[in-house]
Amino acid sequence: MPSPLPRLRAALTVLVMAVAAVLSAPPPAAHAAVALTRVTGFGSNPGQLSMYVHRPASLPASPPVVVALHGCTQNAQVYADHSGLPDMAARAGFLLVLAEQQASNNLNKCFNWFRTSDSRRGQGEAASIRQMVAHAVATFGADPRRVYVTGLSAGGAMTSVMLAAYPDVFTAGAVVAGVPYDCARDVASAYSCMNPGVDLSPAQWAQRVRDAHPAWTGPWPRVAVWQGDRDTTVVPRNADELRDQWTAVHGLSPTPTRTSVIGPDSTRHEEYAAADGTVAVEVNRVPAIGHGTPVDPGTGPAQCGSTAAAYFLDSICSSHWITAFFGLTEPGGGQTPPPGPGDGTASCWTGSNYHHVQAGRATTSGGSVLAKGSQQSMGPYNTFVVHTLKESPAGYFTLADGACP
C-alpha cells in the first residue's frame, strides 16, 4: 500500500500557494473619497465645529448652498462619500457645506440638538452653522436667498434646530430620521423623544418653532421629512410629529393634499400644499429600512450614494429627491424630456416655475409666471412652486397638475 505522505505534502503545498495568492492579491478598489476643503476662520465658532466645503468642477455664479449635517459616529468625509450629495451638487450646481462635530463636544460625535446651549438662535453649535453659511456667501459668492439644510439622525434633529432658529436664513430643509424642534432639552428626554417619541398637538409643536425666533412672522422654510418604517432608533412616530409641527407652522391641515409613490421601493410620498400650490411640507415613508440615509447606488438619473458604510441603506436615493424638493433639479432627475411628436400628442413637463421659464415653457410678468400659449397664471417666479404643464400642440402649454398622462 503506497504511503499517503506525498499526497498530503502536495495538498499542503496547494493550500499554502492559494493562501499566498490571496494575501498577495491587490485589495478591491476603494470607493473614491470626495474632495473636501477644510475652512478655518469662518467666525467665532461658539460651538467649536469644523467646516468643510465641496465645490463641484462647474459651479455657476451665485450658486445655492446646501448644508449637510452627519449622524452620530460619522464625520463630514463619510457623509460626503456615501450620501450622494456631491453627485447632486455636480448635477444641480450648488455649493455643499458640511459641518462636523468634534468628540470633545460629544463622545459619539452627535450634534447636541438636545442642549439649549447649542440649539438656540445665536448660541453654540447652531450659531456656528449659521456662521458657516455667512462665510459661504461672503467668500464663495453664494446666493443668500437659496440656502438649504439637511441631515441624518442627530444631524436631522439639528436640521430642525436650524430651520426653527434661523427661518430668515434657510429657504427649505430635509430632516432624515430626525425629530421635531425642541423635542428634548437634556440627554434623558432626548432618548424618550427618539423612542417612543413625544406626542404634542400641532399647535403646541408650532408654538415651539415660533418661540425660537419670536420676531419672525414668515415666510417659513419648507420642510421635507424622510423616515424608515422599520426604524427603532428614531421611531416612525417622529415623522408624524414633524409633519404636525411644520404643517401647523404653515397653517395647513395635517391631512395630505395628495399622495403617491416614488422610487424603486415605492416610498410613500405625501405632499401638503399651500393655497398657491407650493408644497410646503412633504413626508416620505421609506419601506423596509431601519435607521439611516436611504441611498440607491448606481448611475441612473435618480440614483446616488453608496452603502459601503454604516447608516447608508440601499433603498431610494433620498438626496436626489431632497435636491428636487429644494427646487434645484427636476424631480425626474434633471433630464429634460424630448418634445412630443408634432401629431397632436401631448407632452407633460413637471418642474418649478423657475425651470419652466428657463426651459421656455413659461414667461414672467411682474414677478409672476404665465404658461406660454394659454397665459394661465402659475404663481410667483421662484424655485419653490412646482407645476405640471401639458404641451399640445407644440409650443402651447396649459396647467395640468395631477391630470397629465
Would you name the residues annotated as active-site residues?
153
Residue type, 6: P
Nearest to 226 by CA among 263, 175, 296, 192: 175
Residue with cell 431632497: 322
Do residues 404 and 348 make contact, with C-beta atoms less than 8 angstroms apart?
A: yes
DSSP 180: -
Taking a C-beta distance cutoff of 8 angstroms, is the pair 198, 241 a contact?
yes
DSSP single-letter state for residue 182: T
Q: What is the Cα gyration radius of the chain?
A: 24
SS (H, E, C) 335-351: CCCCCCCCCCCCEEEEE
Half-sphere exposure for 275 (CA within 13 Å, toward CB): 2
Q: What cell was used for 101?
A: 462635530
Q: What sign for the dihedral angle of Cα 354, 360, 365, 366?
A: positive
Number of C-beta neighbours around residue 268 at 10 A: 17
> Is residue 32 helix, strand or coil?
coil
Instruction: Assign 319 to helix, strand or coil.
Output: helix
How many helices and strands, by DSSP H and E, does the chain display?
Answer: 10, 18
Cell output for 126: 447652531
Write the burial class of residue 155 (CB in 10 Å: 0-12 exposed, 13-18 middle, 19+ buried). buried
For residue 191, the surrounding DSSP H or E stretch is helix 187-194
Phi-psi region of 275 (alpha: psi -120 to 50; beta: other; left: phi over 0): alpha
Identify the CA nearest to 324 among candidates 284, 365, 370: 284
